[in-house]
């Protein structure tokens, strides 16, 4: 199971490190290895979130996530996306932007880092919406019941997550975005309008992609329920098949946007290690491959069903990452802090899940429903 799921990741790691050693020597090999570890540590919560969505999809779309999805993640977000950012912010043509990325590493780093406020605002708002929609939903299983119960009651207010997100965006635009330090120089610059525009773009993207995928998912579930009723089948028989067609396609797009939002901090943080676009893409790409394999592993092992608070911990980590991204518009926050926050929250959620499972085992069969709230922390 382990080799089958992570086999490609192991093979790509070996090939990538060998290529780094041949092309850039021992220094390049070390940089690629460090970047891979950085990407894995920053995106572990991404794997948990992805697994929660991927388990709803059928086998075909799960394979698409590992094949086409990894191409988008590695070449699209880690190689092409930074060059596109350079082309847009510096108003360069595609050829000139590629030339800067390959031949002028210092300017390339300056241009990408200069676009960080817009990137952080877009990604921060998208991730914040994911967290708010989760925390405002009334769920049967609650981890931090003392916190989640009142938020679930507040969630009855229509569009509250959008309202809260816009308030957070306005606060960010009028505080951290008004005096952004100039990269590589002295003084500050006002990025309020840039942050507002990018933040609204992240919010709209979430509403469009998430809304369309939810629409098709709900419609598919309604059709399946009608078919089951007409055929006299037991409910849930088709749920194991997974989403397909338009529902799965838009869910796939939703997954890719989530991955993109998580990759923003990794791409920017990688400049603290190297400004060589190919070293960066190779290292981050290897890390992204492990996150994809881990996602599939969690789905196939049914880990989220066995450890029910993992999704809660991952969503809290997403909320923390969203706020950290917005704060980095003005303040420099070490990537180690971002990674540690995510690992600690997921670790606590895992520990709480283990305790819950032990209590259920001690209480005997049929005790899960009675302990679903009491077993939370």
The two tokens of residue 291 are 């996150």
Instruction: Return d(Cα 73, Cα 78) in angstroms, integer.
Output: 7
Residues 6+ apart with CB under 8 A from 133: 161, 210
Are 195 and 115 a contacting pair, CB within 8 Å?
no
pLDDT (0 to 100) of residue 290: 86
Q: Which of 281, 251, 273 is nearest to 81 (CA)?
A: 281
- The single residue listed with the structure tokens 């078919």 is 227
Q: Based on C-alpha coordinates, what's the Rg of the chain?
A: 22
Q: Which residue bears the tokens 């009334």?
A: 138
Q: At a CB cut-off of 8 Å and minimum separation 6, what does 95 contact?
A: none
Q: What confidence score (pLDDT) does residue 223 get?
A: 63
Best CA proximity match to 6, nearest among 304, 295, 279: 295
Per-residue pLDDT of the chain (377 residues; tens, 9 = 90+): 667 778 878 888 999 999 999 988 998 899 899 888 878 877 777 888 888 888 888 888 888 887 888 788 777 877 888 888 888 877 888 899 899 888 888 888 888 888 889 888 998 998 999 999 999 998 888 998 899 999 999 999 988 999 999 999 999 999 999 888 876 666 788 899 999 999 999 999 889 887 887 777 676 666 666 666 666 554 444 444 566 677 778 888 888 888 777 777 677 777 778 888 888 888 888 888 888 888 888 888 888 888 889 999 989 998 998 999 899 898 888 777 877 888 899 899 999 999 999 988 887 665 554 444 444 55
Secondary structure class of 306 (helix, strand, coil): helix
pTM of the model: 0.80
Three-state SS sequence of 209-244: HHHHHHHHHHHHHHHHHHHHHHHCCCCCCCCCCCEC
pLDDT at res. 196: 95
Long-range contacts of 271-275 (CB under 8 A, 24+ apart): 271/109, 271/112, 271/113, 272/335, 273/31, 273/34, 273/35, 273/38, 274/31, 274/35, 275/105, 275/106, 275/108, 275/109
Where in the chain does DSSP place strands (E)?
A: 180-181, 188-189
Report the 3 state secondary structure along 180-211. Answer: EECCCCCCEECCHHHHHHHHHHHHHHHHHHHH
Separation of alpha carbons 17 and 11, rounded Å = 10
Q: Are 203 and 169 in contact (CB under 8 A)?
A: yes
Structure confidence at residue 211 (pLDDT): 82
Contact present, 64 and 253 (Cβ < 8 Å): no
The secondary structure of residue 182, as a DSSP letter, is P
Cα 70 from Cα 269, distance rounded (Å)? 20
For 244-265, b/e burial (b = at least 16 CB within 10 A) is eeebbbbbbebbbbbbbbbbbb
Residues ≥6 apart with Cβ < 8 Å to 30: none
Smallest Cα–Cα separation from 246: which of 264, 223, 267?
223
């Amino acid at each position: 199971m382990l080799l089958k799921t992570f086999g490609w990741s192991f093979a790509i790691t070996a090939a990538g490190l060998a290529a780094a050693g041949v092309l850039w020597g021992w220094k390049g090999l070390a940089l690629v290895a460090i970047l891979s570890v950085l990407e894995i540590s920053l995106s572990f919560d991404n794997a948990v979130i992805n697994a929660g969505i991927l388990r709803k999809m059928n086998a075909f779309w799960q394979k698409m996530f590992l094949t086409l999805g990894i191409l988008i993640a590695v070449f699209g977000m880690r190689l092409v996306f930074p060059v596109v950012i350079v082309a847009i912010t510096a108003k360069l043509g595609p050829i000139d932007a590629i030339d800067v990325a390959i031949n002028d590493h210092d300017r390339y780093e300056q241009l990408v880092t200069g676009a960080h406020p817009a990137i952080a605002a877009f990604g921060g708002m998208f991730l914040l919406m994911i967290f708010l929609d989760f925390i405002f939903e009334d769920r049967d299983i609650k981890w931090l019941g003392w916190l989640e119960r009142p938020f679930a009651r507040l969630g009855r207010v229509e569009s509250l997550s959008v309202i809260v997100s816009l308030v957070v965006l306005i606060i960010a635009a009028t505080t951290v975005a008004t005096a952004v330090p100039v990269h590589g120089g002295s003084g500050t610059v006002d990025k309020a309008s840039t942050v507002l525009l990018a933040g609204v773009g992240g919010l709209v993207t979430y509403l469009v992609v998430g809304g369309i995928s939810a629409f098709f998912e709900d419609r598919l579930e309604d059709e399946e329920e009608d078919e089951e009723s007409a055929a006299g089948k037991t409910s849930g028989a088709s749920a194991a098949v997974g989403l397909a067609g338009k529902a799965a396609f838009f869910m796939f797009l939703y997954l890719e946007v989530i991955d993109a939002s998580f990759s923003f901090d990794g791409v920017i943080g990688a400049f603290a290690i190297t400004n060589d676009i190919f070293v960066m893409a190779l290292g981050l790409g290897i890390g992204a491959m492990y996150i994809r394999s881990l996602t599939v592993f969690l789905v196939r092992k049914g880990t989220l069903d066995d450890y029910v608070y993992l999704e809660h911990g991952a969503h809290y980590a997403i909320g923390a990452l969203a706020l950290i991204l917005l704060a980095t518009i003005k303040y420099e926050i070490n990537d180690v802090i971002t990674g540690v926050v995510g690992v600690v929250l997921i670790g606590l959620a895992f520990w709480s899940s283990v305790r819950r499972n032990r209590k259920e085992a001690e209480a005997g069969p049929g005790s899960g429903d009675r302990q679903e709230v009491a077993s939370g922390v």
